[in-house]
Chain A
Amino acid sequence: MKTVLLTIEKKVTLTIDNETVKVPEGTTVLEAAKIAGIHIPTLCYLKDINKAGACRICLVEANGSLQASCVLPVSEGMVVKTNTPLIRQMRKHILALILANHNSSCPTCIRNNNCELQTLAKELNLREEIFEREYSRHIDDFSPSVVRDDSKCINCGRCVNVCNDVQTVGVLGFVHRSDRTKVAPVYDKSLAELSCINCGQCIVNCPVGALREKDNTDLVWEALADETKHVVVQTAPAVRAALGEEFGLPMGTSVTGKMVAALRRLGFDKVFDTDFAADVTIMEEGTELLDRLNNGGVLPLITSCSPGWIKFCEHKFPELIPHLSSCKSPQNMMGALLKSHYAKMNGLDPKDIVVVSVMPCTAKKFEVQREELEVDGIRDVDISITTRELARMIKEARIEFNRLEDEAFDDFYGDSTGAAVIFGATGGVMEAAIRTVADILTGQDIEEVNYEAVRGVEGIKEAEIQITPELKIKVAVVHGGANVKALMERVLSGEAQYHFIEVMACPGGCVNGGGQPIVPDKVKMETDVRAERAKALYYEDSAILPRRKSHKNPSVQKLYREFLEEPNSSLAHKLLHTTYVNRQ
């Protein structure tokens, strides 16, 4: 049971468009209007991320003066008007001014139909472009993950704040003054040359098409059309929790069966599940943890499945590299296994196999290019696309996604467990690992497998888990750059001591990754995207999948019996483990 703290909050009464509303002190006029049933337009404002008061589209008349409602706190007796001729005109003119510095090219724009600027122009009934256009034409597409198209940027500053405050990476900023002001990577460099961790959080929080993933769909189409290639696809757990949103399904709908069906129709020779490799990861990482616990290895052990986190660590905390698990991420374990074991079993030349991964993540695009991630000159994964790119391919192929019958993953590499599917949410890797480690150490098949303490969207979660009467392990789960930085500083100073830490670079973990469907600001104001999508995964874990522990995956068991021999064997090391670079 949770303790509920009763705080006595002061209420403020005000009128908005003649409606009387009573809201807690400190509420903004924007939020208060929402309660009164009025949706004031916004562009730069984004809940929990940006409160700059810069775009001015949210102007209202408060006690007779024009004010930006997104930053204006309510006050007792305040009289607010949101729909006067003056305000409607101001909004239109401000929007027209923004459009004059914008490369409006909606039909070919990545954000067509999911763009806050476009939506506002429509909703505010702007029918003409009043001003002369002038916009920058600079495009930064050197990064393997993120493309910045300056011609679409409206200088809202959301990406700057996400990168600085939420992720604490800080590679984006404002440069120059007046009408030459622009948002750009610092030192006028390309993102590719900076300590950008490729997380894509800037992309999913950009209101317009100024930031996007590096599109690799053409490469996939090309591979699919090449008769000499055997093209297999793997999908990460979080993809199934969000792909449906691209087809109008409610957030939190799990679409595993339809996704598999769609992938087959796209022409993939085999449709596999990265979850299989997630189960393998637990075998490898769990064994690594036990080894470090038993043999005085470097502790805490820190997970390595989030490539955003890995790059963050390499740039900001190289001292912690020895703490990183040597396990490759599930994506790359899968690739390495497909090009060795799977190739062998099916009499295929690994050179003829193309491994495509569908990921909720833009950093995976960078990861697949990392030099280390190959075995004997064979790249683990060839092409990594995001959930959004997959949706685009399905649409381009004119597949009616919502009418597809559910299909199952292909055998063996499509087999997985509930432990693997929850990898997609913060706390999932930790919970999966504990389920397995506890069984191994106790020699039992423990029935209670829900470790609630590590679930949920809180930034830093800590738990002490009594695994055996003799062993209590202290773990932490952290997600989002700022939380990660705070925790790692405490680990380095010795202030915080743990045995095992799960880290994900994106807030909420992969369900909220930078490659996931983009959620309009209006929805973000009311919904916790992270929690909603995670529900789909925990539902699959508890209600759909027959097995909930990685070591119970029969195909994984078989893989070890017939091929890898045992976790952390020398073959396992060759295929499934990696090294890191100090980038400081």
Chain B
Amino acid sequence: MKQVHFITELFDKYDGRSLQAYLNVGGFASLQKTIEIGSEAVLTEIDASGLQGRGGAAYPTGKKLRQAQAEKAARKFVVCNADEGEPGTFKDRELLKCNIYQVIEGMVIAGICTQSQEGIIYVREEYTNMHDEIRNAIAECYSHNYLGKNILGSPYNFDLKLFSGAGSYVCGEGFAMCESMEGKSGRPRSKPPYVKQEGFLNLPTLVINTETLSTIVSIIKHGADSFRRYGTEESPGTKLISISGKVNRPGVYEIPFGLTIREIINDLAGGIRNGKKGHFVQIGGASGGILPEWLWDTPYTYEDLAKAGLSVGSGAIVVADEDNSLLDYLKVVQDFFSHESCGKCTPCREGNRQLRFIFERITDGTVTVADYDRLEIVLDVMGKASLCGSGKTEVVPFRTAQRYFPELFLTKESLEAKKAVV
């Protein structure tokens, strides 16, 4: 059982643009069920499924929904995070393209479970070609009362609209997203208060990932038990991964947790291109960890990756072969952050400036031992003192690279000095 179809069950089974087609394949059954059994029963089911947020932070979804429910306010928001700014990540795009009605269904269910009546789908600006289809789907749902007042005759109301993202990576972070929707430039705010308490317009806001929403719908439809048939005890269920880089069949696959990285590369993605040898993968997006080829038998689960110093993150896997230099790769990663970090807090803004200098010198061969001392300080400060998750996790690729390739950040002199000691 390599590739599975739990969340992607309906992919290519219906014309994703037609509400009727969605209904024909059993669409909106989970919403019907939610209305019938009520939010408590639904939340119990989600708790039982052990679903963790798929946006990167892996927070238990059931707990998160309950916290959102507990917030008291006249207006509360649910925001579907479809910003998908992590490099190498394109699985939410598939969900929006092939199964937008399931995402909408998930939004309405999340609204009912948390007593929120307003929803926003925050879609990455680069996905503009899909904006019209999403808007059409929303309009269709309104005209058939899957959105709006007294949905399907129930006492629940839910309004939904699309917001086109502001085009920066950091806007995927909850607070930055709220600022961006308020018309400001997308910069995170300091916590507490949290987004769930004072988010969009300073009102309670549930920010939830597109895949998480889709998964909720499937779990309600098929039950927590069938979800748990897949995966491991600590990483139940299935996950959409986006695999790219030097593989024969890059793309989005739904896998049960527990496949090894090697299985994913060889059996799903068709192995490394041109029969080359593998070198390393980066898992989870730009701030994901580096895993060397000799550890590719590590199972893809939250727990096993954590042991290796990595995390599932956004579900991206970028594969590098023997021709790829890790230093060059890290320079590209660093470059990404030099363009995409928001620049609000000192550790990340100034840390990236210094990282840029150091990588420039690594590339032109003028790097010194003192530069590596600085690298240590910068990574330490960024990882510990940055304002938001971006700066805090940006250090992960560098730290894991140091861990698995200890000679990577050494100058010729220090390398020789080290050898002399041994």
**Which residue of B192, B339, B347, B387 contacts A97 across the interface (Cβ within 8 Å)?**
B347
List chain A residues, Cβ under 8 A from B346. Answer: 54-57, 94, 97-98, 155
Of all chain A residues, the one with the shortest Cβ separation from B386 is: A56
Are B190 and A68 neighbours in the complex by a CB distance under 8 Å? yes
- Name 12 interchain pairs, CB-CB below 8 A, sorted by A: A54-B346, A72-B192, A90-B381, A97-B381, A132-B357, A176-B343, A177-B170, A177-B339, A177-B342, A179-B352, A179-B356, A181-B343
CA distance A100 to B346 in the complex (A): 11
Q: Kindly list chain A residues whose C-beta atoms are within 8 Å of the C-beta of B347.
A: 56, 94, 97
Which 4 residue pairs of A and B lie closest in terms of their CB atoms, listed nearest first? A181-B343, A53-B190, A97-B350, A179-B353
B356 proximity list for chain A (CB < 8 A): 179
Q: Interface code B356-375, partner A: CB below 8 Å = 1, 0 otherwise? A: 11000000000000000010
CB distance from B303 to the nearest CB of A (A): 23
Which residue of A53, A73, A132, A155 is within 8 Å of B189 (Cβ)? A53
Interface residue tally of chain B, by bracket? 35 or more
Give the distance in Å from the alpha carbon of A101 to the alpha carbon of B356 in the complex. Answer: 13
Is B64 an interface residue, CB under 8 A from the partner? no
Given the interface contacts A68-B190, A101-B353, A174-B185, does A90 sit within 8 Å of B343 by beta carbon? no
- Which residues on B sit within 8 Å (CB–CB) of A93? 377, 380-381
Min CB distance A38 to B, Å, is 19
Q: Could you tell me the distance between the alpha carbons of A62 and B239 in the complex, rounded to whole angstroms? A: 35
Check B344 for interface membership: any CB of A closer than 8 A.
yes
Q: In the complex, A101 Cα to B351 Cα: how many Å?
A: 11
Task: Report the minimal beta-carbon distance from A43 to chain B, rounded to whole angstroms.
Answer: 9
Interface string of A96-116 (1 = CB under 8 A from B): 111011000000000000000
Out of A51, A55, A73, A130, name the residue touching B192 (CB < 8 Å): A73
Would you call B180 an interface residue if the criterion is a C-beta within 8 Å of the partner chain's C-beta atoms? no
Q: Which of A52, A68, A71, A177 contacts B340 (CB 8 A)?
A: A177
Q: How would residues 175 to 199 of chain B score, 1 for a CB under 8 Å from any chain A CB and 0 otherwise?
A: 0000000000101011010000000
B301 in contact (CB, < 8 A): no
Which A residues from 296 to 318 make CB contacts under 8 A with B? none
Of all chain B residues, which has the CB nearest A154?
Answer: B346
Residue contact B377 to A130, C-beta cutoff 8 Å: yes
- Asked if A180 is at the interface (CB within 8 A of a chain B CB), the reply is yes
Chain B CB within 8 A of A178 CB: yes
Give, as a whole number of angstroms, the nearest-CB distance from B87 to chain A: 15
The answer, among A51, A59, A97, A181, for a CB contact under 8 Å with B354, is A97
Most A-side CB within 10 Å, residue of B340, B341, B347: B347
Chain A 38-53 interface 0/1 with B at a Cβ cutoff of 8 Å (1 = within): 0000000000000111
Q: How far is the CB of B118 from the nearest CB of chain A, in Å?
A: 27
A55 surroundings in chain B (CB, below 8 A): 345-346
The interface residues of chain A lying within 8 Å CB-to-CB of B337 are 178
The answer to the question of A462 belonging to the interface, with a C-beta cut-off of 8 Å to chain B, is no
In the assembled complex, the Cα of A98 lies from the Cα of B348 at a distance in Å of: 11
Instruction: Decide if B349 is an interface residue (CB 8 Å cutoff).
Output: yes
- Chief secondary structure at chain B's binding surface: helix
Given A55-B345, A93-B377, A178-B338, 19 further pairs, Cβ under 8 A: A54-B346, A56-B386, A72-B192, A90-B381, A90-B385, A97-B378, A100-B353, A101-B350, A130-B374, A132-B354, A174-B185, A176-B343, A177-B339, A177-B341, A177-B343, A178-B337, A178-B339, A178-B341, A181-B342
Contact A100-B354, Cβ < 8 Å, known A73-B192, A155-B349? yes
Nearest CB in chain B to that of A100: its residue: B350
**A221 interface residue, CB < 8 Å from B?**
no
Specify which chain B residues have a CB less than 8 angstroms from the CB of A176 in the assembled complex: 343
Across the interface, do A56 and B385 meet the contact criterion of CB distance under 8 Å?
A: yes
A131 is an interface residue with CB less than 8 A from chain B? yes
| Smallest Cβ-Cβ distance to B170: which chain A residue | A177
Encoded as 1 (CB less than 8 Å from any A CB) or 0, chain B from 389 to 415 comes to: 000000000000000000000000000
Q: Once the chains bind, are B385 and A178 in contact (CB under 8 Å)?
A: no
Q: Is there a chain A Cβ closer than 8 Å to B157's Cβ?
A: no
Contact B377 A179 (CB under 8 A): no
**Structural contact, B190 and A71, CB atoms closer than 8 A:** yes
Chain A residues near B277 (CB, 8 Å)?
Answer: none
Are the CB atoms of B343 and A155 closer together than 8 Å?
yes
Question: Smallest CB-CB separation from B361: which chain A residue?
Answer: A132
Q: Give the chain A neighbours of B185 by CB distance below 8 A.
A: 174
Interface 1/0s, chain A 168-179, versus B by CB < 8 A?
000000101111
Is there a chain B Cβ closer than 8 Å to A449's Cβ?
Answer: no
Is A66 among interface residues, defined by CB-CB distance under 8 A?
A: yes
A56 contacts B343, C-beta separation under 8 Å: no
User: Is A134 engaged at the interface, CB distance under 8 Å to the other chain?
Assistant: yes
Q: Cβ of B168: which chain A residues have Cβ within 8 Å of it?
A: 177
Is the beta-carbon distance between A53 and B350 smaller than 8 angstroms?
A: no
Proximity bits, A115-150, B CB within 8 Å = 1, else 0: 000000000000000111010000000000000000
A residues apposed to B, CB below 8 Å: 51-57, 59, 66, 68, 71-73, 90, 93-94, 96-98, 100-101, 130-132, 134, 155, 174, 176-181
Docked CA distance A241–B170 (Å)? 48
Most chain A CB within a 10 A radius of its CB, from B168, B349, B386, B387: B349
- Establish whether residues B387 and A68, one from each chain, have CB atoms under 8 Å apart when the complex forms: yes
**Which residue of B344, B353, B381 is within 8 Å of A54 (Cβ)?**
B344
Q: Is B135 interfacial (CB-CB < 8 Å)?
A: no
Closest to B339 in A: A178
Chain B residues whose CB sits within 8 angstroms of the CB of A177 once the complex forms:
168, 170, 339-343
Asked if B13 lies at the interface with its beta carbon under 8 angstroms from chain A, I say no
> Is the beta-carbon distance between A90 and B384 smaller than 8 angstroms?
yes
Q: How far does the alpha carbon of A132 sit from the alpha carbon of B359 in the complex, in Å?
A: 13
CB of A178 within 8 A of CB of B189, answer no
Q: Which residues of A contact B380 (CB under 8 A)?
A: 93
Q: With A53-B190, A90-B385, A101-B353 known to touch, is A178 a contact of B343 (CB < 8 Å)?
A: yes
B344 close to A181 (CB less than 8 A)? yes
Cα A96 to Cα B373 in complex, Å, equals 14
| Closest residue on chain B to residue A157 by CB atoms | B344
With a CB–CB cut-off of 8 A, which chain A residues contact B351? 97
In the bound complex, do residue B345 and residue A54 qualify as a contact, i.e. CB atoms below 8 Å apart?
yes
The reply to whether A53 and B352 contact each other, CB–CB distance below 8 Å, is no
* A56 adjacent to B374 (CB under 8 Å): no
Q: Which residue of A is nearest B381, CB measured?
A: A93
Docked Cα-Cα span, A44 to B99, in Å, equals 46
Q: How far is the CA of A179 from the CA of B394 in the complex (A)?
A: 14
A98→B357 CA distance, assembly (Å) = 15
Instruction: Chain B residues near A155: list those with CB within 8 A.
Output: 343, 346, 349
| A73 surroundings in chain B (CB, below 8 A) | 192
Residues of A within 8 A of B385 (CB): 56, 59, 66, 90, 94
When distances are taken between beta carbons in the complex, the residues of chain A under 8 Å from B354 are: 97, 100, 131-132
State whether B387 touches A53 (Cβ < 8 A).
yes
- Shortest CB–CB separation between residue A403 and chain B, in angstroms? 44
Quick one: given A53-B387, A73-B192, are A178 and B349 in contact (CB under 8 Å)? yes
- Distance A90 CA – B384 CA, assembled complex (angstroms): 9
Task: Report A50 CB to chain B, min CB distance, Å.
Answer: 12
Most buried by A among B339, B340, B343, B350: B350
B381 touches A179 (CB 8 A): no
Residues of A within 8 A of B170 (CB): 177
Output the nearest chain A residue to B190 by Cβ-Cβ distance: A53
- Contact, CB under 8 Å: B190 / A52: yes
Known: A54-B387, A68-B387, A134-B353. A179 touches B345 (CB 8 A): no
- In whole Å, how far is A59's beta carbon from the nearest beta carbon of chain B? 6
Smallest Cβ-Cβ distance to B357: which chain A residue: A132
Residues of A within 8 A of B353 (CB): 100-101, 134, 179
Whether the pair B342, A131 counts as a contact (CB closer than 8 A) is no
User: Smallest distance from the beta carbon of A78 to chain B beta carbons, Å?
Assistant: 12
CA distance A68 to B188 in the complex (A): 14
> How many angstroms from the CA of A131 to the CA of B344 in the assembled complex?
19
Q: How far is the CA of A484 from the CA of B263 in the complex (A)?
A: 68
B221 to nearest A CB, angstroms?
39
- The distance in angstroms between the C-alpha atoms of A174 and B380, with both chains bound, is 26
Q: Which residue among A90, A132, A176 has the maximum number of chain B CB atoms within 10 Å of its CB?
A: A132
